[in-house]
């Protein structure tokens, strides 16, 4: 497979790379590119092209310095004339360490959510709305929570920065609310699971509420599971 970079360098993706499959989503497949990078190649579906990462959005995202946002190193294009939407991109490789939010260390969780809310503010300054936040688009590495698949983010200058900030905060709180709820339903009924979930991750637009609530509940516990075990209904 042959691609071109924004500065017209030719990149060849050979079979050895395509054999290093990592996973697949609705819009693209991810392969290991080298020791430190992977590559996402969009599937060739014309009606899905609106979900491909645009050069315009990428230029805004690369202004943001955040370890919680996937580091995209290079946009790739199928021809050397179209520079509007990428057909693939090379990004940093992240190794997932944690899978179950109930077992994540409390200090890790609090610190990363604080940093995600800082990211929320930085995105809102650029009129970028966090969209399509879900567990599949979130990687829990050894020391940070990384949001991937940011081609789904929305750039909208018709909404105020304050409103976007509140929307982003709400989407972040929803992300963790739904992740915790899913895990708790393996052990409790839906009503009990929802009570525990709302105690730790209330859905709100206020960043201070998100952090203060979580800190208050977990400050004496190593993991969310320890808090829940000690506060059984």
What digits encode the pLDDT tens for the residues 139-164? 999 999 999 999 999 999 999 999 99
Rounded mean pLDDT, 187-215: 95
Among the ranges given (26-30, 82-86, 169-173, 190-194), the one the predictor scored with the smallest mean pLDDT:
82-86
What is the pLDDT of the chain when averaged over all its residues? 93
* Residue 65 CB coordination number (10 Å): 9
Q: Which pLDDT band, with edges at 50, 70 and 90, does 232 fall under?
A: confident
Give kind and range of the element (H or E) at residue 92.
strand 88-92
Q: What is the predicted pLDDT for the residue at 27?
A: 84
Q: How many whole angstroms separate alpha carbon 152 and alpha carbon 154?
A: 6
SS3 of 150-187: the string is HHHCEECCCCCHHHHHHHHHHHHHHHHHHHHHHHHCCC
Distance of CA 85 to the CA centre of its chain: 20
Q: Which of 56-65, 79-88, 149-158, 162-171 has the lowest mean pLDDT?
A: 79-88
174 contact partners, CB below 8 Å, separation of at least 6 = 133, 203
Distance CA 229, CA 66 (A): 34
- The band of 33, judged by pLDDT with boundaries at 50, 70 and 90, is very high
Between CA 215 and CA 233 the distance in angstroms is 20
* Separation between Cα atoms, residue 72 and residue 88, nearest integer Å: 11
Distance CA 74, CA 91 (A): 7
- Per-residue pLDDT at 49 exceeds 80: no
With cut-offs at 50, 70 and 90, classify the pLDDT of residue 47.
low
């Amino acid at each position: 497979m042959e691609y071109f970079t924004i500065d017209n360098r030719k990149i060849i993706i050979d079979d050895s790379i395509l054999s290093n499959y990592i996973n697949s989503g609705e819009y693209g497949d991810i392969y290991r590119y080298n020791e430190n990078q992977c590559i996402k190649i969009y599937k060739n579906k014309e009606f899905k092209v609106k979900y491909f990462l645009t050069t315009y959005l990428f230029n805004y995202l690369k202004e943001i310095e955040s370890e919680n946002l996937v580091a995209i190193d290079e946009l790739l294009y199928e021809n050397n004339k179209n520079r509007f939407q990428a057909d693939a991109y090379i990004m940093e490789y992240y190794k997932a360490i944690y899978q179950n939010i109930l077992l994540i260390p409390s200090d890790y969780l609090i610190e990363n959510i604080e940093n995600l809310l800082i990211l929320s503010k930085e995105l809102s300054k650029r009129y970028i709305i966090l969209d399509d936040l879900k567990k599949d688009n979130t990687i829990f590495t050894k020391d940070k929570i990384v949001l991937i698949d940011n081609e789904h983010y929305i750039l909208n200058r018709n909404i105020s920065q304050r409103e976007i900030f509140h929307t982003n905060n709400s989407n972040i709180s929803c992300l963790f609310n739904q992740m915790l709820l899913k895990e708790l339903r393996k052990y409790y009924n839906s009503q009990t699971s929802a009570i525990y979930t709302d105690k730790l991750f209330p859905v709100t637009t206020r960043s201070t509420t998100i952090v203060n609530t979580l800190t208050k509940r977990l400050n004496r516990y190593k993991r969310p599971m320890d808090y829940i075990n000690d506060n059984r209904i």
